[in-house]
Amino acid sequence: MARLTSTDDLRRIIAEPRPATKTKILDALDEQSIDFLKRCPFALVGTTAADGTIEVSPKGDEPGFIRVEDPKTLLIPERVGNNLAFGLSNILATGKIGLIALVPATGETLRVSGTAEIFDDADLVGSLSSLGKPALLATRVHIKHCYFHCARSVVRAKLWDPKSWPAASRISFGKIIAPRIGADASVAAQIDAGVEGAYTTRLWTNS
């Protein structure tokens, strides 16, 4: 057997989880997960389009940027980005969302799944301000289940071990975009300079 086609095939290789393991899956945030989110500066947010396409978007901000409204509800601020808005469009289409929250130097990650809505209420986005700038939008997440994932994948990856990190590098968006718009290397350099500005002087604005 090469290609697995059923859950029975899967469970012949990966055993059923222990009953105790299943008990860690909660339907609301507990004290540890609330504290974890207060320290979290980065998360990966997954959404599903109407045609089933999956998108995963990185979200990063000051620690605690994912606000706990109550143990069953989260608020995620939307900041400036590339304006593709795939994830936001998917939420409007299907309302499905999942996220993995990370805290530097902590191996465990927090997984949350549920449904989501998008709001532009002035008071709400204002309450999610950072450095005096209100959020563009607020995504309210209604939690269906949440749980901590053990640290083994992070430990294997040596994710938080600086001695294991490769040399720093930068992706050239100019090399990707310029050939597709019929432009030359000089335009590619201009694109990369613009991206650098987005990382520095225009971190909080697209102007």
- Single out the residue of 163, 160, 162, 191 nearest to residue 175, CA to CA: 191
Q: Which residues contact 204 (CB under 8 A, 6 or more apart)?
A: 79, 80, 130, 131, 133
What are 132-164's pLDDT values in tens digits? 899 999 999 999 999 999 999 999 999 999 999
Query: In this structure, are residues 111 and 74 in contact, taking their beta carbons and an 8 Å threshold?
Result: no
**pTM (2 decimals)?**
0.94
Report the pLDDT value the prediction gives residue 1, as an integer from 0 to 100.
Answer: 60
Q: What is the mean pLDDT of residues 28-36?
A: 98
Report the pLDDT value the prediction gives residue 207, as an integer from 0 to 100.
Answer: 72
What are 55-78's pLDDT values in tens digits? 999 999 999 999 999 999 999 999
Task: Read off the tokens for 5.
Answer: 């086609």
Q: What secondary structure does DSSP assign to 21-37, as a single string?
A: HHTT-BSS--HHHHHHH
Report the mean per-residue pLDDT for the chain: 96
Q: What is the mean pLDDT of residues 80-85?
A: 94
More confident residue, 203 or 101: 101
- Single out the residue of 137, 90, 133 nearest to residue 115, CA to CA: 90
Report the pLDDT value the prediction gives residue 66, as an integer from 0 to 100.
Answer: 98
Domains and CATH numbers, the chain: 7-157 (2.30.110.10), 166-199 (no CATH)
pLDDT score of 205 more than 90: no
Q: Which residues contact 64 (CB under 8 A, 6 or more apart)?
A: 37, 38, 39, 40
**Percent of the chain having pLDDT more than 90?**
95
Strands 96-102 and 67-70: unpaired
pLDDT score of 206 more than 90: no
